[in-house]
Structure 1
Amino acid sequence: MTAALATKPRTAALDRDTAMRLATTEYERFLALLQGLTPDDWAKPTDCPGWDVRAMAAHLLGMAEMSASMRESLRQVKAAQSRDGVFIDELTALQIEERAQMTPAQIVSRYAEVTPRAVKARRRTPWFVRGRKMPGTQLINGRHEEWTLGFLTDVIMTRDPWMHRVDISRATGAPMVLTADHDGVLVDDVVREWAARHGRPFTLTLTGPAGGTRGSDGPELEYDAVEFCRALSGRGTAPLDTEVPF
């Protein structure tokens, strides 16, 4: 039996200024993480099966280049769609394959070059484009749902490097820089989406610099803020059986 389709395309809850501030800071923090890696770190395995740190960085570079250029975005999408597998898997595989000959230093240098343009392009995406539906659907919590392009550009394209920053920090032992004014805002948006998706009462306490208490009724849940998000992303058991896309 096919999964049901959610009725309305998902839109970003963050206001544009906040979304772009988070995007800018996240690109900067991911770049700083890459710049601090040792030569041995790049071959270390991550929580994403089959991906070492270098593959993960190549994927994030490919995503930044997609964000920075409409032409490059269309090229990558067309190339991924020409393959036989699930679109997002084919897209990330393409990004890694196309950068297989780059050295870690070249990846870092290119990431530093392209991410300011990625933020600029995301910021300049007009409202009528952000309101359009993305092609295809996403399978989340057993249901197919549609996303607007705005949900992709304002939310997912920032959550993705944030979660992979967590992955690389865990893989290498590098410090995970966390602050309330950046990571706390990002986590709060995740919590609000998680709450809306399951629609049940809860009292959630998240610990750490990105933490806080949300809700006032229902079962009492307590997690480290980063571990909570890892669980929602599929890197653990999602609280209240409700995942959130990253």
Structure 2
Amino acid sequence: MSDPSSSVPADLLADLRAEGEELDALVGDLDPAGWARPTPAPGWSLAHQIAHLEWTDRAALLALTDADAFAKQVETALAAPDSFVDDGAAEGAALPPGELLARWRAGRSALGEALAAADAGERFPWYGPPMKAASMASARLMETWAHGQDVADALGATRTPTARLRHVARIGVRARNYAFAVRGLPAPEAEFRVELVAPDGVEVWAYGPADAAQRVTGPALDFCLLVTQRAHRTDLALVATGADADRWLDIAQAFAGPAGQGREPRDA
């Protein structure tokens, strides 16, 4: 029997699975016209959103199971750094919707099994720094939730926020310095205090020292929408105390890669 301490936490894997299932429920019965519906991401249809998730799930599976093959995929990405993400999404979006849906479902299942079997202490290659399996699972959940928001917005659907957002919030907090660095800005030296009201309206998710001068407070959902750049800051109920914290809310991002363009304010 394997040592439970060497495995990715079961609750994290369950949350990742639930996030995929919730998004699956939004798209599973759509007709071809539904799959072609545009989303808030410029040039991306609903099919592009699912194709991107299928592509990145497949890349994560390769990173976990075949480092040499993944290295070749990274070489391909480096040869076209400005277009490889869009190219992967476009390739999948061109498939018949039923085939794309089947591939995404199979890939989610295979990735879940690989994450469950992975040694929690090992670091696996990725497009940025190598990641442990738990971090990879959290990142996949974050991206599934974020692209799921694009899908929900395109369909005019309202999703009920859940405690799974704690994974997204944690990545957003930990990515603070990256958000500054990717814009060529020096990261603040002092730690921030972040206090987020959980979706249940009662629990508070707190990060950083309680006596920090730089602070961010507000709903966890709003923070997650901000750091995944699915909503503009002016449309969210987040409060910054301190100049550095205020600057962070203008540039925050939880995802790797170049600085995102974000969303326009609702009134724009």
TM-score, with structure 2 as normaliser: 0.64
Tell me how far apart the structure 1 counterparts of residues 172 and 203 of structure 2 sit (CA, whole Å).
10
Q: 1:54 aligns to what?
A: 47
Please state how far the C-alpha of 1:57 moved relative to its aligned partner: 0.8
Please state how far the C-alpha of 1:100 moved relative to its aligned partner: 4.0
- Structure 1 123/106 Cα, relative in aligned 2: closer, same or farther at 3 Å? same
Q: 1:231 aligns to what?
A: 226
Q: Please, which of 116, 120, 123 is the counterpart of residue 131 of structure 1?
A: 123
Q: 1:11 aligns to what?
A: none
Q: 1:42 aligns to what?
A: 35
Please state how far the C-alpha of 1:80 moved relative to its aligned partner: 5.4
Q: 2:104 aligns to what?
A: 111
Tell me how far apart the structure 2 counterparts of residues 101 and 240 of structure 1 sit (CA, whole Å).
35
Question: Is the contact made by 1:44 and 1:52 (CA closer than 8 Å) also made in structure 2?
Answer: yes
> Percent identical across equivalent pairs?
16
Tell me how far apart the structure 2 counterparts of residues 81 and 211 of structure 1 sit (CA, whole Å).
47
Question: Is the contact made by 2:35 and 2:46 (CA closer than 8 Å) also made in structure 1?
Answer: yes
Please state how far the C-alpha of 1:169 moved relative to its aligned partner: 0.8
Counterpart code for 1:125: A
Q: Answer yes or no: is 1:186 the counterpart of 2:177.
A: no
Tell me how far apart the structure 1 counterparts of residues 116 and 201 of structure 2 sit (CA, whole Å).
25
1:46-195 aligned within 5 A: 46-69=39-62, 78-79=72-73, 81-82=75-76, 84-86=79-81, 89-90=83-84, 92-127=85-120, 130-132=122-124, 134=125, 137=128, 146-150=129-133, 153-180=136-163, 182-183=164-165, 185-190=166-171, 192-193=173-174
More contact order relative to length (CA 8 Å, sep ≥ 6): 1
Tell me how far apart the structure 1 counterparts of residues 8 and 26 of structure 2 sit (CA, whole Å).
27
Question: Is the contact made by 1:204 and 1:221 (CA closer than 8 Å) also made in structure 2?
Answer: yes
Q: Which runs of 5+ in 1 are unaligned?
A: 1-13, 138-145
Which one has a larger percent helix, Structure 1 or Structure 2? 1
Q: 2:191 aligns to what?
A: 200
Larger Rg: 2
Please state how far the C-alpha of 1:86 moved relative to its aligned partner: 1.8
Q: 2:253 aligns to what?
A: 243
Task: Decide which moves more: 233-242 or 43-52.
Answer: 233-242
Q: 1:7 aligns to what?
A: none
**Superposition CA RMSD, Å:** 3.6
Residue-by-residue CA offset, 1:149-169 (whole Å, 9 max, x unaligned):
536523212211111111111
TM-score, with structure 1 as normaliser: 0.69
- Structure 1 103/210 Cα, relative in aligned 2: closer, same or farther at 3 Å? farther
Q: How many residues align?
A: 219
Question: Is the contact made by 2:8 and 2:120 (CA closer than 8 Å) also made in structure 1?
Answer: no
- Structure 1 86/22 Cα, relative in aligned 2: closer, same or farther at 3 Å? same
- Structure 1 68/166 Cα, relative in aligned 2: closer, same or farther at 3 Å? same
Tell me how far apart the structure 2 counterparts of residues 123 and 54 of structure 1 sit (CA, whole Å).
28
Tell me how far apart the structure 1 counterparts of residues 8 and 38 of structure 2 sit (CA, whole Å).
36
Tell me how far apart the structure 2 counterparts of residues 245 and 68 of structure 1 sit (CA, whole Å).
19
